[in-house]
Amino acid sequence: MRTVPDFPEPGVLFRDIMPLLADPVVFAEVVAALAADAPGPIDLVAGMEARGFLLAAPVAMALGAGVVPVRKAGKLPGPVASATYALEYGTATVEVQPFTVPDGSRVLVIDDVLATGGTAAATVDLLERCGAEVVGLSFLVELGALRGRDLLPGRAVDVLLTL
């Protein structure tokens, strides 16, 4: 993983996981570690756009589960359910096709980075409104100083690396 200063805007330190994904040994180790941390049987793994997709699909395969993409607004054909959340500079919306989330499904949410927690909290809300039981959240990296866990009280949150 590499740190890219001032991307996508000045003052931001972007955590680029592409070198990790390009290394087949390290990528396999990350997938195995994320799957090993899964809390009990999992029906679906929800990957948050966009790098979460790259981790969710192989983890779902390792767990014998399905995968559900949680997309930015306007990227999925309807019907969709949506959740809007606050950003420092406005709002954003995530969507899922509710028919892909059967009532009572045990869902593990995965993304590459837990930063401020807004996207993760909106994703949990969205999936639960669709009838899922979100049993855990897993992240490759947590940016601890941004306190994203504060938006996920009482949730099982696993991370492989805290920065």
Q: Which domain holds residue 128?
A: 2-162
C-alpha span between 93 and 104 (Å, rounded): 24
65 φ/ψ angles, rounded to the nearest 5 degrees: -120, 165
Q: Quick one: average pLDDT of 8-13?
A: 88
Active-site position among 2, 9, 29, 88: 88
Torsion of CA 67, 72, 75, 81, to 10 degrees: 70
Active site annotation includes 155: no
Active-site position among 51, 71, 95, 142: 51
Q: What CATH number does residue 57 fall under?
A: 3.40.50.2020
DSSP 124: H
Number of domains in the chain: 1
pLDDT at residue number 93: 97
pLDDT digits (tens, 9 = 90+) for 86-118: 876 789 999 999 999 999 999 999 999 999 999
Given a cut of 90, whether residue 143 has pLDDT beyond it is: yes
| DSSP secondary structure, 54-90, as one string | HHHHHHHHHHT-EEEEEEETTSSPSS-EEEEEEETTE
Q: Give the chain's radius of gyration (CA, Å).
A: 15
pLDDT at residue number 74: 96
Active site annotation includes 29: no
Summary mean pLDDT of the chain:
95
